[in-house]
Amino acid sequence: MSNNYYQREYETMSREELKALQSERLVRQVRHVWEHVPYYRGLMEQKGVTPEDIRGIDDLHKLPFISKEDLRLQYPYGLLGTDLKNCVRIHSTSGTTGRRVVAFYTQEDIDIWDDCCARAIVAAGGTDEDVCQIAYGFGLFTGGAGLNGGSHKVGCLTLPMSSGNTDRQIQFMMDLKATILCCTPSYAAFIGESLKEKGYKPEDNSLKAGIFGAEPWTEEMRRGIEEALGIKAYDIYGLTETSGPGVAFECEEQTGMHINEDHFAAEIIDPDTGEVLPLGATGELVLTSLDKEAFPLLRYRTRDITMLSVEPCPCGRTFVKMKKPMGRSDDMLIIRGVNVFPSQIETVLLNEGYAPNYQIIVGRENNTDTLDVNVEMSEGTFSDVVKDMERETARLAQAIKTMLGITPRVHLVAPRSIARSEGKAVRVIDNRKLHD
Ligand code: ADP
Ligand code: ZN
């Protein structure tokens, strides 16, 4: 049992109490949407559902799904749940896949979002004595604003660095003795690499924890970051459509992220049929906001592939846990008929002793898919490996083949030749899309 709760009464409430709370909130949220968002009302009417049919959380499955496509079609104001004059801010997706989506917030929405992020910071050991360095981007992207708000709520001394300018990050980290670092995992890895280059050892900094999310990352990458920075690295999950980071966060057990179920109801569905799957099954995460004013979402299809577990957590929190998402269904590559997640290739490379600096290039030659993987050598491996490049590339190709069942062409490239990420890393180039 830990004492690291920000809102103990919610984070540890019994499942029955939680169900009652979710039910009450869902009924209210559905009425709110029905009354204020004609587009949603239309979707519900099409499905033959009215607010009277939704008596509690067990009726969730009766509601229609909503997808990113709906959000794009309704850009910018079509899903607003309140008068624009009640809104105080917008954020927007980073546009990793396709057109941007704009989300709106009332002050109350921001307050709840900040609470969710505060829970994550406290779960990572944060208190008002901490110095919290926020190296997620500030601006339209939700990462900076979300963790900044959470850090203020906890009472940490907040360093609103935004991403980039790594020399300055390091200087402030050292001079102001930052104890918690918040950024994308790929940027955390880059900061670790830069610290080492400047001659710092992991124990030279004052960091104790990191809160990393906004992109998929593997357990191997977590271990690498933990070693490089001398910290414990916690995962955090969220998306712009549901406010931002803080939908789910890791506790000290690090066996999945607790979903803030007092604010979001979670389901797992079969992405092909839309059928709701039993607990423990792997599928697409569907989220329903329970108390949003400006941008309510009923049964939003996140396209993130994960699974849920209600196993009691030793930390004392009763919220379900979601497994680290492997990537979005639309990140999944189909290469020669085989489903490939970039994270699988990352797992192999890191296990083979490489840093997370790689690039996956998919193409098509003579009507056959090709898979090329550029892998960066470190200064250390460079001289050893250069003697025996062929054997090393064959070894890596074999390791990837064992994982995926298809053989890639591996290319070892010079240290520092692959661009580093200060935000979300772009690791895949799919040239087939250009020709389709
Ligand atoms: P975009 O959809 O343009 O990338 P967002 O910044 O809203 O915009 O990204 C949200 C997405 O980022 C999620 O749907 C998920 O795919 C990914 N993501 C966020 N946090 C994590 C995490 N901890 N692990 C894996 N993926 C994550
Ligand atoms: Zn826990």
Give the rounded distance of the alpha carbon of 172 from its chain centre. 26
**What pLDDT, on the 0 to 100 scale, is given for residue 330?**
77
Q: What is the mean pLDDT of residues 117-123?
A: 98
In terms of Cβ atoms closer than 10 Å to its own Cβ (0-12, 13-18, 19+), residue 64 is: middle
> Which residue's C-alpha comes closest to atom 4 of ligand 1?
96
Domain boundaries, the chain: 1-328, 333-435
Q: Judge whether residue 46 has pLDDT over 60.
A: yes
The pLDDT assigned to 2 comes to: 63
pLDDT of residue 112 exceeding 80, the answer is: yes
CATH superfamily of 1-328: ANL, N-terminal domain (3.40.50.12780)
Instruction: Name the pTM for this structure.
Output: 0.94
Instruction: Say if ligand 1 is within 6 A of residue 213 CB.
Output: yes
Confidence of residue 375 (pLDDT cuts 50, 70, 90): very high
346 lines ligand 1 (CB under 6 A): no
- pLDDT tens-digit map of 376-404: 998 777 767 667 888 999 999 999 999 99
**Residue 214, ligand 1, Cβ within 6 A:** yes
Residue 343 CB less than 6 A away from ligand 1 = no
Q: Which tens digit of pLDDT belongs to each residue from 167-221?
A: 999 999 999 999 999 999 999 999 999 999 999 999 999 999 999 999 999 999 9
Q: What is the pLDDT of residue 304?
A: 96
pLDDT at 435 over 50: no
Pairing, β 321-322 against β 333-335:
unpaired
pLDDT at 436: 42
**How confident is the model at residue 106, as a pLDDT?**
98
Give the model's confidence band at 277: pLDDT under 50 very low, under 70 low, under 90 confident, else very high: very high
| Mean pLDDT confidence for 264-275 | 97
**CATH of the domain spanning 333-435:** 3.30.300.30
Query: What is the rounded average pLDDT of the residues 6-35?
Result: 98
- Give residue-wise pLDDT tens across range 19-28: 999 999 999 9
Average confidence score pLDDT of the chain: 94
* Cβ within 8 Å of residue 157, ≥6 positions away: 130, 131, 132, 176
Q: Which of 411, 318, 331 is nearest to 371 (CA)?
A: 411
| Ligand (nearest to CA of 247) | 1
